[in-house]
Amino acid sequence: MYQEERLLKILEYLKQHQSMSVTDICTEFEISKDTARRDIVRLVQEGVVIRTHGGVSLPQLKKEILSYQDRLIDEAEPKRTIGVLGAQLIQDHETVILDVSTTVQFVAEQIKAQHLTVITHSIDNVGILSDREDMQIYLLGGYLNVKNRSLFGPSILDKLSQIRADKAFIGAVAIGSDGIYYSYEEDARVKQEMARRSDQVIVVADHTKFTSKSFYRLDFDYIDILITNQPVPNPLKEILSQNNITVITYQDEEHGTNYND
C-alpha cells in the first residue's frame, strides 16, 4: 500500500474514532513503527492532524468534507456572485476547461460568451450547458463518482495532456500561504494538469476557503487569477501579490465590484 493511500485510511479512521496510536497504525497496516512515525510526520506537516502522546488525533472542531449537494447549498449566494464575475472573463470562441466544483458550476450557469468549446468531467456542468447549440462540449471520460457527480480515473489525465485551452476555472478546498489545497491526491493532479494545459488559470473560491485546511497542494505558480467574494486577509493578499496573482473581489452591491491587483 502506498503512503498516500495509508494516509487517507488513517484520516478515515480518525473521523470515526477521533484518535489513533502508533501501535494501532502498525497493526492496521502491518507496517513498522518507523514507517508509522513517518506517516504521522507527514500528516502533522500537512496540518490535518495533531500529534498526541503515542499517536495522532483530529484537530478540535475539524469540519468533515461535505457532500457535493451540501456544498452547492452552502454559501450559495457568494458562489453565485463569484460565478458571475468568472463568466465575465470568458470571451467568444474560446476553449475553456471547467473543473468539478460547486463554485465552478455557478460559472457555468452564468456564461454569456458564444461559440465556446468547453472541456469538463462534471456531469452537472454538462447538464447546465447541454442546451447551448452554439457550444461544443467535450466530456472527459472515466469512472462515475456518484457523490461528487463527476468522472475520474487515469484517462482524465491522459485526455487533458492532449488538450490546449485558453482558460481553466478550478475550485479550491482551502487556500493557504503556500498554495491551493485539495482533499484528494488525484483531484490535485487533475487540477495541476488542467493548469498546465491552459493559458490562464482562474481559481474561484468563497471566503471560507481562507480559514480551511486540506491535504494536497497546488503551487501558486500555476495560478493567474483568484476570484472571491470578500477581501483577502492581508498576509495572504501580500503573498498572492508576490506571486503575481490578480485578485478579483466582490465586496458589496452598493460599493460595486472591486478589483485588486
The set of cell numbers assigned to 252 is: 458589496
**Does some domain include residue 98?**
yes
* DSSP states of 132-186: -TT-EEEEPP-EEETTTTEEESHHHHHHHTT--EEEEEE--SEEETTEEEESSHH
Number of domains comprising the chain = 2
Q: Are residues 116 and 7 in the same domain?
A: no
My answer on whether 128 and 246 are in the same domain is yes
pLDDT at 152: 85
Higher pLDDT, 162 or 50: 162
Q: Decide which of 16 and 259 is more confident.
A: 16
| pLDDT value of position 73 | 52
Pick the residue with more confidence: 147 or 189?
189
Q: How many CB atoms lie within 10 A of CB 29?
A: 16
Section 229-247 average pLDDT: 94
Look up residue 246 and give its three cell numbers. Answer: 490578480
pLDDT over 70, % of the chain: 89
Q: Considering the domain boundaries, does residue 155 fall inside one?
A: yes
Residues 23 and 141 in one domain: no
Residue 168 and residue 245 in one domain: yes
Same domain for 36 and 139? no
**pLDDT of res. 100:** 93
Q: What span, in angstroms and rounded, lies between the C-alpha atoms of 139 and 141? A: 6
Do both 43 and 154 map to the same domain?
Answer: no
Q: Contact at 8 Å (CB) between 160 and 193? A: yes
100-138 pLDDT, tens digit each: 998 999 999 999 999 999 999 999 999 999 989 999 999
Three-class SS state of 259: strand
Domain that holds residue 45: 3-57
Q: Against a cut of 0.85, is the pTM above it?
A: no
Backbone angles phi, psi at 25, to 5 degrees: -65, -45
Higher-scoring residue by pLDDT: 37, 255: 37
d(C-alpha 183, C-alpha 187), whole Å: 7
Question: In this structure, are residues 258 and 236 in contact, taking their beta carbons and an 8 Å threshold?
Answer: no
Q: What digits encode the pLDDT tens for the residues 164-185?
A: 999 999 999 999 999 999 988 8
Q: Phi and psi at residue 136, in whole multiples of 5°?
A: -95, 130
What mean pLDDT is reported for the chain?
Answer: 86
The three-point CA angle 8-12-15 to 5° equals 140
Note the pLDDT of residue 97.
Answer: 98
* In the chain, % of residues over pLDDT 90: 54
Closest CA to 218 of 171, 261, 151, 161: 171
- CATH number reported for the structural domain that contains residue 141 in this entry: 3.40.50.1360
Residue ending a domain, choose from 37, 57, 77: 57
Of the residues 57, 80, 99, which one is the last residue of a structural domain? 57
